[in-house]
Amino acid sequence: MALERVNYAPAMLRDEALASALDEHPFTLLDIGCSGGLDVHWREFGEHLRAVGVDPLNEECRRLADAETSPTVRYVAAWIAAPDFEQKYPRGALELDPVGARNDQSIARTSSRAAILATGFDGARHFSQGAPTVTYAERRLSVDELAAEAGLETVDFLKVDTDGFDLEVLVSADETLRSRNVLGASIEVQFHAPIHDYSNCFSNIDRLMRGHGFSLFDLDVYRYSRAALPDRFVYDIPAQTHRGQLGFGEALYVRDLGDSKYPAMWGALPPASLLKALFLFELFGLNDCAAEVILNNEAALSPLIDTRRALDVLAREWWPRAEDYHHLAEAFVADPAAFMKSGRAMDPEPPPEPPAVEVGRRLRLLSGRFRR
C-alpha cells in the first residue's frame, strides 16, 4: 500500500552527509497488514530502518521472514485487536441490521464482489503468495501490547492496512499514539459504513487521528463500479476499477511540525523526531513541508543536521534548475506570477516512477483477508 506521490528516489536519504544524521536516531516502522512485504520506499532508510511487520497469515509471515535480508526487520503472525472493541462497536448486530444501522456500504453491489463470487477468487491465498495451505494466527494483541513486547520506545510511523478493521487497530494503539512519539501513519480508509462512532469509516478515523494531534496530508481514492454496469479493473484481479463510486482510499496523517503553534497545542517533540520528520515528509513527496519544519525549528535541528544543505537538496529535488534554496525562495518573492500555470518558473522534472513491484501491490480487495 503506497500513495501515488511517494518519492522513490529521495535525495536527502541518498545524501550520505545528511542521512548520517540518522546514525544515532534510526527510523522505526510498525507495519500492520504486511502481506506482500514492506512497501519498497521504506527500504530507502537502509541500515537506519527498524521495522516490525504484522499479519494474521502464518505462511506469509514465514515466507517474509525467510526472504528478509535485514537483521533489523522482523515479522509477527498475529491479529491486532482492541480488547473491548466489541463492546464499543457491536459489529455483528449492526451488520445484521443494515437498515437500522443506516449502512450505506455498497460493497455487495460492486463488480468487484460479483467477479470474486463468479471466479472463486481467494484473497487470503492471493496474499499468501500461492502457499499450498492458508492458516491464521491464534494470537490476538493490541498495538500497544505489540510495541511493548517488541521493546519499541519509539514508533516513528504506523502503517495500517487490514481490510476493514483499521479503526480498531488505531483504537488499540491509544498509548502508542500518545507516548511513543509517532510522527505519522498511512491508513486504509473506507468511505461508507454504519452510522456509529466506532464504525470503520473515514470520518471516525479522521476524528481519532486529529484528536491525537495528526493532520491529513494526502489522500488517494479507489473507485468501484457497480455490477449493474461494470468498468475495467485497474489490475488483473477483481479489485478497484477506473470509474465508479469512491469506495476506499489511503490516508496519510502526519504531525504538522512546521506549524509554530504545534508545540503549544500538542506538546513539543524531541529534536530527533523533528529530524526524522524531514526524511518522512520528503519520502511522501512533501518537500515543502520538510522545508517548513527546518525553517521553524532550525535551532533544534542545527546540532543534528546541516540545515542549509538539507534546504538546498529539498529545493533542487523539486526544482532541478534552482541554484539553491535561497535562490528559489527569492525568485518566488520577486515574481510569484512566474510560478503560475502559464508562468516561466524553473520547470520541475516529473517524479520517478514507482518500481514495478510497488505498482503490483496497490490493491484493494474485498475478499476479507482479515475477516475474523
Model pTM score: 0.93
- Listed in sequence order, the DSSP H helices in the chain are 16-19, 58-67, 85-88, 91-96, 111-119, 123-127, 143-149, 166-171, 174-179, 202-211, 262-266, 271-283, 287-296, 298-301, 307-318, 325-334, 356-359
pLDDT tens for the chain, 372 residues long, are 568 999 999 999 999 999 999 999 999 999 999 999 999 999 999 999 999 999 999 999 999 999 999 999 999 999 999 999 999 999 888 888 999 999 999 999 999 999 999 999 876 666 666 667 789 999 999 999 999 999 999 999 999 999 899 999 999 999 999 999 999 999 999 999 999 999 999 999 999 999 999 999 999 999 999 999 999 999 999 999 999 999 999 999 999 999 999 999 999 999 999 999 999 999 999 999 999 999 999 999 999 999 999 999 999 999 988 999 999 999 999 999 989 888 877 666 666 666 765 554 555 454 444 444
- The helix-helix angle for 307-318 and 325-334 (nearest 10°) equals 60
Q: Exposed (0-12), middle (13-18) or buried (19+): which is 121, by Cβ within 10 Å?
A: middle
The long-range contacts involving 328-332, CB below 8 angstroms and separated by at least 24 positions, are none
Judge whether 372 lies within some domain: no
Three-state SS across 123-159?
A: HHHHHCCCCCCCCECCCEECHHHHHHHCCCCCCCEEE
- Are 185 and 253 spatial neighbours (Cβ–Cβ below 8 Å)? yes
Judge whether 366 lies within some domain: no
CA distance 61 to 36: 9
Judge whether 362 lies within some domain: no
Judge whether 76 lies within some domain: yes
Q: Which residues contact 367 (CB under 8 A, 6 or more apart)?
A: 116, 121, 122, 123, 124, 126, 163
C-alpha cell at 142: 493490541
Judge whether 361 lies within some domain: no
CA distance 228 to 367: 19
pLDDT at 363: 52
Domain of 90, CATH number, reads 3.40.50.150
pLDDT at 365: 52
Q: DSSP string spanning 253-301? A: EE--TT-TTHHHHH-PPPHHHHHHHHHHHHHTT-HHHHHHHHHHSHHHH
∠ at Cα 216 (108, 199), nearest 5°? 35
What residue has cell string 527498524?
Answer: 50
C-alpha cell at 311: 534546504
Judge whether 175 lies within some domain: yes
CA distance 310 to 274: 13
Q: How are the residues of the chain apportioned to helix, strand and coil, as percentages rounded to the nearest 5?
A: 40, 15, 45
Judge whether 334 lies within some domain: no
Judge whether 65 lies within some domain: yes
CA distance 55 to 291: 35
Domain count, the chain: 1
**Among 298, 282, 299, which Cα is nearest to 290's?**
282
pLDDT at 343: 80
C-alpha cell at 371: 475477516
- Are 105 and 135 spatial neighbours (Cβ–Cβ below 8 Å)? no
Domain containing 46 equals: 25-270
